[in-house]
Amino acid sequence: MADKMQWANALSTRPSLEAAVTDVVERAVSSLTAPADLGLVFISSAFASEYSRLLPLLAEKLSVPVLIGCSGGGVIGTTIDGQTQEMEAEAALSLTLAHLPGVDLQVFHVMSEELPDLDSPPNAWIDLIGVPPSPTPHFILLCSSFSSGINDLLQGLDFAYPGSVTVGGHASAGGMSGRTALFCNYAGGELPQGLYREGTLGLALSGNIALETIVAQGCRPIGEPLQVTKAERNIILELDEQVPLVVLREVIANLSEKERMLAQHSLFVGVAMDGFKPTLQQGDFLIRGILGVDPSAGAIAIGDRVRPGQRLQFHLRDAEASAEDLELLLQQYHNHEDTEASAIGALMFSCVGRGEGLYGKPNFDSELFRRYIKDIPVGGFFCNGEIGPVSGSTFLHGYTSVFGICKALGDGE
């Protein structure tokens, strides 16, 4: 019988870190019938004063050659009765273990000052990361909350590793503590073991593995698509050869009263990722925040660079839009995925601005995910920024839930 990929997750809400570690290790290990090659651990900020104890406690109970993780304002995992739970603002520990035959694992840690210039050749990035471009690796990135340069790193990985898929998130602290942590225990290479407070910790998975994504940005479009006819850096100076603020006021005037109220605090811009797609739909846009407006010139500044010729559409975000967006993407994945049964596990990176605070009830995104993609373990955490691809390029998002779905490539693929 062929050695099959296996994936397990366990979530503990025990208030004692020792008890939580014992709990998750025993349950996750017992779910596998072969040794674990990879561990992913997410610890809630309720344990912030004990972060330095996590890896030593795990090492006493668990032998795994590659283990990475981080802190989160909340963590996501699988309870003893098989349910996925999103534990926000309380003590919780989530451990994912995976048996990955035919998969090569490499861990790296980079600081922003180490990054090559964006006009450097691919080899500069490959030398920094230390991962060969073939077979195409997929990446899981965990960043400290104050990681600068993450956007440059994402561009560099896309450039040097075409065809790779990258997911992950910024560690989050929850509350006012501000303390975040990245964790690394790696038997291979020269990377120092232990706890990191800065930079980006990355895991490259190469070989017999596919990583598929669902990136739910939580918005719905309003009005019609518009073309940027004049722009400078991140400032839109003309839309359809008109003053942007005038165009925006017309869009808002045509909304319902409820939507107009929402637009006062939850208005965003969606930048179309495909310049040639004739009909734009939900999911075709990269959502970016509106940073400000210039009432005298009528210009609008957004949270990304914009250039003439690009198409964009204004968007609104609320719980209803967020739920509709995720369900639409799950339906599309479900309908196009005839090998859905081969999914073995998933990682969930969700914004601290989602969860119960957005929906008014717990576990909304994870329950919706499991309605479409059943019976696979899900682990993850609540992030201060989520990493995932839109139309083939990788971005740092806000207010987003990113799912990374792992599969074995299988024979003949």
Tens of pLDDT, residue by residue over 32-53, are: 999 999 999 999 999 999 999 9
**Are residues 233 and 205 both part of a single domain?**
no
**Could you tell me the residue range of the domain that residue 12 belongs to?**
6-216+323-407
**Same domain for 295 and 369:** no
Read off φ and ψ for residue 190, nearest 5 degrees: -110, 15
What average pLDDT does the segment 193-200 reach? 92
**What value does the mean pLDDT take over residues 112-140?**
96
Torsion (CA) 171, 221, 405, 160 in degrees, nearest 10: -70
Q: Which of 348, 10, 327, 289 is nearest to 167 (CA)?
A: 348
- Is there a domain that residue 413 lies in? no
Same domain, 56 and 164: yes
Given 316, 351, 384, which residue is the final one in a domain?
316
Indicate whether 401 and 312 sit together in one domain: no
Q: How far is CA 64 from CA 29, 34, 170, 199, 235, in A?
A: 10, 12, 24, 23, 49
Task: Quote the pLDDT of residue 97.
Answer: 98
At 352 the pLDDT is: 94
A 10 A CB-CB count for 291 gives 13
Q: How confident is the model at residue 2 (pLDDT cuts 50, 70, 90)?
A: low
Residue 337 binned pLDDT confidence (cut-offs 50, 70, 90):
low
Residue 168 covered by a domain: yes
* Residue 375 reports pLDDT greater than 70: yes
90 & 183 share domain: yes
Residue at which a domain ends, from 266, 286, 316: 316
CA distance 110 to 141: 10
Q: What is the mean pLDDT of residues 133-151?
A: 90
- Is residue 116 pLDDT above 50, yes or no? yes
DSSP states of 182-226: EEEEESSSSPPPEEESSSEEEEEEEES-EEEEEEE---EE-S--E
Asked, for residue 348, whether it belongs to a domain, the answer is: yes
Any domain includes 1: no
pLDDT digits (tens, 9 = 90+) for 83-106: 899 999 899 999 999 999 999 999
Among 289, 316, 343, residue at a domain's last position: 316
Indicate whether 78 belongs to any domain. yes
Q: Could you read off the pLDDT of 261-285 as tens digits, one per residue?
A: 999 999 999 999 887 888 887 778 9
Clarify whether residues 229 and 283 are in a common domain: yes
The rounded percent of the chain whose pLDDT value lies above 90 is 85
pLDDT, average across residues 156-175: 93
Flag whether 280 is in a domain: yes
CB 5 within 8 A of CB 342: no
pLDDT tens-digit map of 308-327: 999 999 999 999 999 999 99
Question: Among candidates 299, 296, 67, which has minimal Cα distance to 195?
Answer: 67
Same domain as 255, residue 212: no
Domain-embedded: residue 231 = yes
d(CA 201, CA 169): 10
What does the alpha-carbon distance between residue 246 and residue 22 come to, in Å, rounded to a whole number?
60
Is it the case that residue 412 has pLDDT exceeding 50? Answer: no
Contact 229, 123 (CB under 8 A): no
pLDDT at site 276? 81
Using DSSP's 3-state secondary structure scheme, residue 165 falls into coil
> How many structural domains are present in the chain?
2
CA-to-CA distance for 272 and 4, rounded, in angstroms? 40
Q: What is the pLDDT of residue 98?
A: 98
What is the structure's pLDDT at 411?
Answer: 42
Tell whether 357 and 258 lie within a shared domain. Answer: no
**Is 412 part of a structural domain of the chain?**
no
Give 47's strand partners. none
pLDDT, the chain, mean? 93
Exposure of 280 in the CB half-sphere (CA atoms within 13 A): 25
Residue 286 and residue 346 in one domain? no
Residue 353 has pLDDT above 70, yes or no: yes
To 5 degrees, how large is the angle CA 205–CA 206–CA 208? 110
As a whole number of angstroms, the distance between CA 80 and CA 13 comes to 11
- The answer on 87 and 204 residing in a single domain is yes
- Indicate if 392 and 294 belong to the same structural domain: no
Kindly state whether residues 158 and 64 are assigned to the same domain.
yes
For residue 175, the model assigns a pLDDT of 63
